[in-house]
Amino acid sequence: MSIEFAKYHGLGNDFILIDNRSSSEPVIAPEQAVELCDRHFGIGADGVIFALPGQDGTDYSMRIFNSDGSEPEMCGNGIRCLARFVAEIEGDRSNLAQYRIHTLAGVITPQMTAEGQVKVDMGVPRLLAAEIPTTLAPANEKVIDQPLEVAGKTWSVTCVSMGNPHCITFVEDVAAIPLETIGPQFEHHPAFPQRTNTEFIEVVQRDYLKMRVWERGAGATLACGTGACASLVAGVLIGKCDRSATVELPGGCLQIEWSEVDQRVYMTGPAERVFTGQFYSLLPSASAAGEALAVETNP
């Protein structure tokens, strides 16, 4: 059986998109997603995203398998890519399409903009320790500027959930952070029972932040949309940034706003198709996965 796919990226955070509307369950298993995401023997991606039928009155449902086979609740860059993908499979050329998408983090609403960007209503951030979840504070309290011991150092962290967990720490120079070494120690810290995404933030000015991220289940990536949202919220909570700011990631910039009116977070950024193709089978070992792929480069 052959399965068609499209490769998309949002600021370098890249995904394999599959039209899964014929079934309410993903057409491949997590371990197969791991093979497809392998950058040497597979297609190469940070995750596989499935466009499934909508639930509870939504237009679509979104499921995602990370490159390690785990399943996150949501992905900010991924949902922008999904919005572009479904607009293309629907043949919508208006560039103003809007969708209500069911995710494991709730209903998320992306909308195309006239400038070719995708603006996403990411919902209201969750701030209580039980909602993150984390044991850094009592369940009904917020985790703001709390100490956390990692790698023999005390870090001041603020925790935010955008439907998935984030641990944010502000640093003088993000370029100096040994991300590959310290990121996994944050992700697997016992204070986070479901692991965590970790953002290191440098405040350039109150409306401009620099960010590096270690993503739960994917490692160091070029961008993280939910992380950018969570980081701005954290910056507002500790008085380091404005409610609207540019967040510069290694792959480019996102515009993030935490609205004072409705308390919802809005993320605006690009999503671009890279190529399309199909894979005919999935072999049992990652070393042979490349032989199972036929990639058609249609930009």
Give yes or no on whether 3-117+271-296 and 129-268 have one common fold: yes
Angle in degrees, CA 205, 233, 9, rounded to 5: 85
How high is the mean pLDDT of the chain? 93
Quick one: 129-268 is in which CATH superfamily?
Diaminopimelate Epimerase; Chain A, domain 1 (3.10.310.10)
What are the start-end ranges of the E strands in 39-117? 47-53, 60-66, 101-103, 106-112
- CATH number for the domain running over 3-117+271-296: 3.10.310.10
Average pLDDT over residues 142-161: 97
- Spot the catalytic one: 37, 224, 229, 253: 224
- Portion of the chain with pLDDT greater than 70, in percent: 93
CB 252 within 8 A of CB 270: yes
CA distance 145 to 231: 13
Given this model, what pLDDT does residue 285 score?
A: 42
Annotation says 224 is catalytic: yes
CA distance 257 to 278: 38
Annotation says 167 is catalytic: no
Given this model, what pLDDT does residue 295 score?
A: 54
- Spot the catalytic one: 37, 75, 159, 167: 75
What residue spans of the chain are helical by DSSP H? 30-37, 76-90, 179-187, 225-237
The domain ranges of the chain are 3-117+271-296, 129-268
Given this model, what pLDDT does residue 1 score?
A: 73
Average pLDDT over residues 38-57: 96
**Closest CA relative to residue 59, chosen from 98, 4, 17, 113:** 98
What is the SS3 assignment for 231? helix
Given this model, what pLDDT does residue 287 score?
A: 39
**Closest CA relative to residue 229, chosen from 186, 179, 268:** 268
**Closest CA relative to residue 167, chosen from 212, 225, 234:** 234
- For the whole prediction, is pTM greater than 0.85? yes
Instruction: Find all residues with CB under 8 Å of 42, minimum gap 6, and list them.
Output: 35, 36, 286, 289, 290, 293
Residue type, 95: N
Burial label, 84 (beta-carbon count in 10 A; 0-12, 13-18, 19+): buried
